[in-house]
Structure 1
Amino acid sequence: MTGLRYVYAVCRPFDAALQSQLTGVAGDPPRLLPHGDLVAVVSHVPEADFGEEALRTHLEDLDWLTATARAHQQVVDALTAVTTPLPLRLATVFRDDSGVRLMLEERAAAFRRTLDRLDGRVEWGVKVFVETERTERTGAGAEPSAAPDRPAPRPVSGRDYLRQRRRQSRADDDLWSRAEEFATGLHAELSGRADDARLHAPQNPRLSGAAGRNVLNAAYLVRRDASEEFVERVDRTKDDAPGIRVELTGPWAAYSFAGEETGAGAADGKKAGDGKKAGEES
């Protein structure tokens, strides 16, 4: 099959088979392209969609970008089940196999160092939210733990209204203080159980669609054989603080710990284009 080469990840050689029905970007099944002691996971994509000019246009198309990211992530997830992949950025594309091999050759030392550091490890994501929507639904005078369908008493005067607002402000300040203390303690504990940790910027609720205000958005690099204990510890925190929600995601390939060099992937004009990695958030 002709076309450009789309590269999902770099890994060490492995013996396990990928899912038989696995397809990648543009519907083409991924294949392994070995070079020395490294392997690039690639598939064919049409130049009409992934050539430099076309790709620049497509990266502004949210529907196209979402579908491509989903297919990219599907391949990386399948790799994570059988080996330790080093995921490349979304839409890392080369003209041919030679371009991919040249990239592996030029980045070999950096790839090996990162793969050695990530070997046998996966990424877990933990987010902490303050559930402010519940407070807002109960009205200005309700406590954060009040039932969401209980209407707040209507103020009978301006003074009553200001009193309710002050109570609400104190309740909100108390909830925020507890949430920040909770998130700081949780991050410190989980960091101690992980080999590495990263703090990301809080999610914008208008972009993420998640309910509540995000006060912790962290990633943890955890050994596979320690992941069950890590997950159990996170689960035990979920009921520790009323009005505060803890979300756990994973296991993922170690995107947050892969290093910037994994997104480079170009050599001497052989690259057709690259964009954001799969799952990267604004």
Structure 2
Amino acid sequence: MTERSPEDSGANAIYVYAICRTEEPLALDMVAGITDGEPVRSLAVGSLTAVVQTVRAAEFTDEAWQERLSDEIELERCARAHHAVVSAVAGHAPTVPLPLATLYHGENRARSALNDEAARFHTALERIAHHAEWGVKVYAPSPPGGGRDAPVRRPSAPVDRGRPAPGAGRAYLERKRSQQAQREQRQGDSLRIAEVVDEDVSRIATASRRLRPHSHGAVGGHRVQVLNATYLVAEHRSAALQVLAARLRERTGAEIEISGPWVPYSFVGEV
């Protein structure tokens, strides 16, 4: 749906942040948007409202975006500015966020392209109305002792250089096998906990998405993430989610993190 702007340094383009449905004027004067100079404003698209900003086309060419992608600080600034506008709109009305750098050559082109997607936008807005997105992350319970498995020492030669005690090698191997069995048992238990949490939260959610769990380095320490999911939850059930999370922590012994409420980015592209 995104089209790139011409490279004429004097040309303008329309940057679109989101689509919403509201009969009330949007208060957008408190958000600066992705660029200076022009205000963030509303643009009527049939019975829908697009939230847009006029930008200099030369600042949003493919080459300009490639430079942003290679500049972590600038890319983060753009992403935060985009999200700030979307969040401000979502605070007033059901909102479908559009991807970063959605641009059109002018208002007429923007209206035409967005109108072509009107049915999808209406369906998405119906789905997310009075809902928010919540993230749920589950970490496996720590092994006994709160850390890694204790190392299994190899049988060492006695000081008097005599033979090792009878059965020392066999005992070492048995301890190794026991540790491996315990690790496999904990892993199986952790995966079952993840399924229990997902199943219980899904009962109070309208929709859910399972994401790839983060690696050890991403979550820090020795924690093992066994569930990384996001849920679309009705506003009136948000308190029930918090109560459920507390019960699941007590029941499973797992560390369960709840984050939100967020604009439902994860649930507007599936319709």
Partner residue, 1:78 = 88
State the partner residue of 1:155. Answer: 153
Return the alpha-carbon distance in structure 1 between the equivalents of residues 11 and 63 of structure 2.
19
Q: Matched residues, percent identical? A: 32
What does the per-residue CA deviation read over 1:218-274, in whole Å, with 9 as the maximum and x for residues that have no partner?
1211111221212221233234334x321111111222211257xxxxxxxxxxxxx
What's the secondary structure of 2:18's corresponding residue? Answer: strand
Q: Equivalent residue of 1:189, what SS?
A: helix
The answer as to whether partners of 2:17 and 2:97 remain within 8 angstroms in 1 is yes
Aligned partner letter, 1:222:
V
Question: Out of 99, 104, 110, which is 1:94 matched to?
Answer: 104
If asked which structure has higher relative contact order (CA below 8 Å, sep 6+), I would say 1
How far apart are residue 199 of structure 1 and its match? Answer: 1.6
The 10-residue stretch of structure 1 (42-51 or 212-221) with the greater mean CA deviation from structure 2? 42-51
- Structure 1 224/49 Cα, relative in aligned 2: closer, same or farther at 3 Å? same
CA distance in 1, matches of 2:100, 2:270: 13
**How many equivalent residue pairs?**
247
Residue by residue, what CA displacement relative to the aligned partner does 1:56-102 show, whole Å, maximum 9, x if unpaired? 33234333322222222222222222221111112212222222211
What do residues 102-138 of structure 1 show as CA deviations (whole Å, max 9, x unaligned)? 122111111111111221111111111236xxx6xxx
Kindly provide the CA deviation profile for residues 171-224 of structure 1, in whole angstroms up to 9, marking residues without a partner as x: 322221121111111111111111111222223444x44553322121211111
Measure the CA separation in 1 of the matches of 2:189 and 2:68. Answer: 44
When Rg is computed on C-alpha atoms for both structures, the one with the higher figure is 2
2:185 aligned residue:
174
RMSD: 2.9
TM-score normalised by the chain length of structure 1? 0.75
Please, which runs of 5 or more residues in structure 1 have no aligned partner? 136-143, 262-282
Query: For residue 186 of structure 1, what is the aligned residue in structure 2?
Result: 197
After superposition, the Cα gap between the structure-2 partners of 1:83 and 1:164, relative to the gap in structure 1 and judged at 3 Å, is farther
8 Å contact kept, 1:124–1:252: yes
Match of 2:32 among 5, 12, 23: 23
Q: Distance in 2 between matches of 1:217 and 1:29?
A: 37
In structure 2, give the amino acid aligned to 1:155.
R
Do structure 1's residue 36 and structure 2's residue 34 form an aligned pair?
Answer: no
